A and B are shown apart, each in its own frame.
Chain A
Amino acid sequence: MDNLLPNLLSFPPHPPRPTPMSDYLYDQGIRDQIDFVKKLADSKLLQQTSGGEDVLDVINPALNTVPYTFILLANLSALKKGTKGVDMDKIWGKMTTFLGTFDPRQIRYLGEQLSTIMEAVANIAVANRQPWMALAPIRDALLRLDPTGSMLTTHHLALVKLALESRSYKAIVPVIEKFILYFPGITNQPKPKYICDMSINPVQFITPTSGLTQKFKYQEVLEYFLYSGMVFIGLSNWEGALQCLENAVAYPAKEGSVSKIMAEAYKKWILVGLLHEGRLLSLPRSTSANAAKQYHTLAKPYETLAQIFENGTASRLKAEADQGVSVWQNDCNTGLVLHVLAAYQKFQIRNLANIYSKISIPEIVSQTMSAETGNKLPSPQAGEKLVQDMINQGELHATMSSSPGQPSVVTFAVSGPVLTEPEMQNELAAATERIHALTKEIKQTDRMLTHDKDYIKYVQKQKKNAKQGSLGDQGISGADMEWGDAIEDEDIMGSLY
């Protein structure tokens, strides 16, 4: 092993050169090294150093990701074969540390290997009946690989499924809260010259050919959106859930087709909307018209429930919820519906804040109804407790004061939480920055679209048509062009400039 080490550690040069390596040299270097390491037999990689140390302890995964990866894989396959001297716990420890420390530039060349390691981590955790153990390492690996998190990979989907199975949701929030912009299999992306170029878009190096992800089917994309929504629901993070479910609800669909997953997402989306805003939300603008029509027929009971929530009384809401028990059960939404019922009175109390500045607890009890029972609260104490809980959880901006012998009095803050001037400045600056970043994305997308083969063809045709038109050919070709305009999606960004 000792004679191998210098070769293994030859790349990247250590200590780093004063001038950073050009992308060309880096690409060459790392490819050579991968070729070299690949040729080595597993048995060689498993050798210890002369000092009797494990090589995995010697090599720093953050610097020499390439040899480390291969040695780790050699250990893994040895583990599978049952070779002696390979300790499972140790490998597990090494793998999880590796996923949190690897060099994001080198790893781009090691797609298949990284995938294998992530799968191994997940498998071991599941085999040990501790699936939640795998969540954090995989999450870290995904975020290291693509810090923007805007690219969907098959690992994302597997991670969310793992989280749902193990019912531990918190760990994966940093991954699923990222807005997905890119999907594997995009054809119109320019091929990057070197994938080690740190300025390129994730979509350019995370491709099915790199082994970092696989190809998707639309069902799987929808599943990812639905499942991440469900994870947020599990955390009672309604805003996040809305965001994810909306992605599924507004999924582009051609020719009036609607996936069942979209309809499921829509049902949950209605309930979550009630919990978040207390009303039936209007569909996102980009929802396809046909899907919207389908939703209204498929999710009728949900929409009715939402309308009653908004305008009806507690007893009607309860009756409607009881009526639809089998519907909620079949859709696995019973829990959410119960949440909705519990939220009804809270929304009523919050609405009181729009009318009253100060009100006593008995008055609140007499003016609001609980949808869980369909009646008023049994006692002022129950009302007091409810208000207390709401204040504690930040759901109600108010203070409660009680004096002996008299009912407690709730004073509502006049206009909710008011941000201070510096806070507001920060918020505004952050929003500006986000929009700047977004503008870059938009420009890039626009560029990509203008260089799209089909689009170029279309422009050519249009030019030709225009020429013909000027030569006196009216009628048919003119109408043709207009049809082209209507069908073409290319001006989809027009309204955003």
Chain B
Amino acid sequence: MSQTQGLPASPTQSRSKKNLLVSDPPKFDLESYIANYKGRTRLERLILIGTCSSYLGVEALKLAVREAKKGKDIKRYLEAQNHLETIGPQEPEAIRDKAWIEKTEKQNQAETQRLEAELKGYKNNLIKESIRMGNEDLGKHYQAIGDLPRAFDSFSRMRQDVSMTKHIIDISQHLIGVAVEQKNWVAVSSNVQKIRGVMTSEDEQFLQPYLYTTEGLAFMDSGEYYNAALRFLQTQPGLGGTSAPGAIPGGSVCNTIISPNDVAVYGGLCALATMERNELHSQVLENSKFRTYLELEPHIRRAITFFVNSRYSACLSILEAYRTDYWLDIHLQKHIDEIYHLVRSKSIVQYFIPFSCVTLDSLNAAFVPAGKTIDKELAMMIQRKDLEARIDTQNRLLTSVPSAPRSALQTSTLETAKEYEREARRRIQHMNIVGADLEIKGGKRGGLAPIDDLFDNGRELRSRNTHPGGF
């Protein structure tokens, strides 16, 4: 937890988003990590690692600069190069390659013009198939040069000229690709639904991993970890595109978004954060589909096994050891603290279940590093009703609240009866008000003056002592 939190410069700095800086060495090897991915996500991931890790920063940015120069996205190149210039100015890659920028810019412009002209030609000829392909090419080009909104538009325009279900699936896949990069998860899930709507069972075989993982990502991003876990856990093996038979269109597409290792990590963590022990056992450990993925990340498997076997501190320490890695993951970065927090709370709750009374010291020993106390965290958990217990600060005990279902039911019955009474009486009252023609009518002054005269002289009215029918 906090000891790995690499914020030596400013402890008050918020841990979230951009300012996150990790100084500890992660457990993965950068080269092999990045080899799992293809396409633009490589560059994005490298830049993220470069900006967030002080240990791998220079190396990652160097790779990023090299990677960027292979493509045609000038903005990304500048981003990587700028960062490198600040943290590693002595590197050869840190020098801005103006010639490359100029050349690429020209090429990009020419290409854009060429493709747009072509598209125009197709449109004049009214050939549907060509228009569709023209839009597709243009979209791919925009995506490559980093103009994502236009790419999204171009791909969307393909929809007007579809003639086969295959086309619809293609469009949605393109859109998902762009939307993932834009972090537009609403678009991702809506396109997943679109594909679901049109695909045949044959398509499903190839597309299942793709659909489930992208949807899982969308759920994870909106914080619905349980649903995300279900999606990842149901992902069929074959995401990498090697084990499934035949040529797989989805296989290569997936690599641009997510790797099989990621599926194991995301699925495992989300499940750990939201599922009960029994569910974890049946849905994760005994899940044959998910096993192929889980084998790629044995430590996740170990953590889950420890949790299921009630060895919570072991589970937490494994997760802790990998926190740095996950901070450097493009999708997990924002959520890892929350997920870890959930796992931790759940562990404490589970730890406490068999006891009616636990000393705070034993909880300290099990869950926090020496020298720190768990008191505050427990208080928070009780306040949020995560934990049904009370703290005794004098004897340093955590005691469970005895449940009294009978009296609870009786109390709630009385409450319901009271509520019913009140509501019924009020309704009778209202009907009689209407019956006595006493309701407030504002019709005379039209809808413009919704507040009646009373608003002008209400005070006067209140100070009036005599009453026509009074004493």
The answer to whether A and B belong to the same complex is yes
Checking A161, A428, A496 against B470 with a beta-carbon cut-off of 8 angstroms, the contacting residue is A161
Report if A368 contacts B (CB, 8 A). Answer: no
When each residue 429-471 of chain B gets 1 if its CB lies under 8 Å from chain A and 0 otherwise, what string results?
Answer: 1111111111111110001001110110010011001011111
Cross-chain contact B470 with A356 (CB below 8 angstroms): no
A438 and B425 CA atoms in complex are apart in Å by: 8
Tell me which residues from 447 to 495 in chain A have a Cβ below 8 Å from any Cβ of chain B. Answer: 448-449, 489, 492-493
- A123 and B471 contact, Cβ closer than 8 Å, known pairs A183-B436, A286-B427: yes
Cross-chain contact B442 with A256 (CB below 8 angstroms): yes
Chain A, interface residues (CB within 8 Å), range = 35 or more
When each residue 317-333 of chain A gets 1 if its CB lies under 8 Å from chain B and 0 otherwise, what string results?
Answer: 00000000000000000
Cross-chain contact A256 with B390 (CB below 8 angstroms): no
A303 and B384 CA atoms in complex are apart in Å by: 24
Tell me which residues from 62 to 83 in chain A have a Cβ below 8 Å from any Cβ of chain B. Answer: none
Residue of A nearest to B427 (CB): A492
Cross-chain contact A255 with B447 (CB below 8 angstroms): yes
Cross-chain contact B442 with A255 (CB below 8 angstroms): yes
- What residues on A are CB-neighbors of B393 within 8 Å? 356, 358-360, 363
Cross-chain contact B442 with A122 (CB below 8 angstroms): no
Cross-chain contact A427 with B439 (CB below 8 angstroms): no
Tell me which residues from 207 to 222 in chain A have a Cβ below 8 Å from any Cβ of chain B. Answer: 213-221
- What residues on B are CB-neighbors of A158 within 8 Å? 467, 469-471
Number of B residues near A (Cβ < 8 Å) is 59
Stretch from B49-57, B171-179, B187-195, B409-417 at the A interface: B409-417
Tell me which residues from 140 to 180 in chain A have a Cβ below 8 Å from any Cβ of chain B. Answer: 154-155, 157-158, 161-162, 165, 179-180
**Distance from A343 Cβ to chain B, minimum over Cβ atoms (Å):** 19
**Distance from A377 Cβ to chain B, minimum over Cβ atoms (Å):** 18
Cross-chain contact A489 with B447 (CB below 8 angstroms): no
Tell me which residues from 168 to 200 in chain A have a Cβ below 8 Å from any Cβ of chain B. Answer: 179-188
Cross-chain contact A218 with B438 (CB below 8 angstroms): yes
Cross-chain contact B454 with A187 (CB below 8 angstroms): no
- What residues on A are CB-neighbors of B422 within 8 Å? 243
- What residues on A are CB-neighbors of B399 within 8 Å? 357
Cross-chain contact A286 with B430 (CB below 8 angstroms): yes
A188 and B434 CA atoms in complex are apart in Å by: 10
Checking A257, A435, A448 against B421 with a beta-carbon cut-off of 8 angstroms, the contacting residue is A435
**Distance from A471 Cβ to chain B, minimum over Cβ atoms (Å):** 35
A445 and B437 CA atoms in complex are apart in Å by: 16
Cross-chain contact A119 with B471 (CB below 8 angstroms): yes
Report if A338 contacts B (CB, 8 A). Answer: no
A149 and B444 CA atoms in complex are apart in Å by: 34
A178 and B428 CA atoms in complex are apart in Å by: 14
Checking A118, A290, A415 against B471 with a beta-carbon cut-off of 8 angstroms, the contacting residue is A118
Residue of A nearest to B429 (CB): A181
Cross-chain contact B424 with A161 (CB below 8 angstroms): no
A181 and B441 CA atoms in complex are apart in Å by: 20
- What residues on A are CB-neighbors of B391 within 8 Å? 355-357, 359
Cross-chain contact A185 with B436 (CB below 8 angstroms): yes
Stretch from A39-47, A52-60, A259-267, A392-400 at the B interface: A259-267
A250 and B393 CA atoms in complex are apart in Å by: 46
Residue of B nearest to A264 (CB): B458
Cross-chain contact B440 with A259 (CB below 8 angstroms): yes
- A161 and B467 contact, Cβ closer than 8 Å, known pairs A183-B436, A252-B439, A414-B401: yes
- What residues on A are CB-neighbors of B383 within 8 Å? 351, 354-355
- What residues on A are CB-neighbors of B427 within 8 Å? 286, 492-493, 496
Report if A370 contacts B (CB, 8 A). Answer: no
Cross-chain contact A415 with B392 (CB below 8 angstroms): no
Cross-chain contact A489 with B434 (CB below 8 angstroms): yes
Cross-chain contact B433 with A221 (CB below 8 angstroms): yes
Checking A157, A213, A219, A493 against B461 with a beta-carbon cut-off of 8 angstroms, the contacting residue is A219
Cross-chain contact B431 with A431 (CB below 8 angstroms): no
Known A123-B471, A253-B442, A356-B392; further 16 A-B contacts with Cβ < 8 A: A158-B470, A218-B438, A218-B439, A219-B461, A223-B461, A247-B429, A257-B441, A257-B452, A258-B440, A258-B452, A259-B455, A290-B450, A359-B393, A409-B394, A431-B414, A441-B425
Give me 21 A-to-B residue pairs in the complex whose CB atoms sit less than 8 angstroms apart, sorted by A's number.
Answer: A123-B471, A157-B469, A158-B469, A182-B432, A183-B438, A251-B440, A252-B433, A257-B441, A258-B450, A259-B455, A260-B454, A285-B423, A351-B383, A356-B392, A359-B394, A414-B390, A428-B413, A442-B428, A489-B434, A496-B420, A496-B423
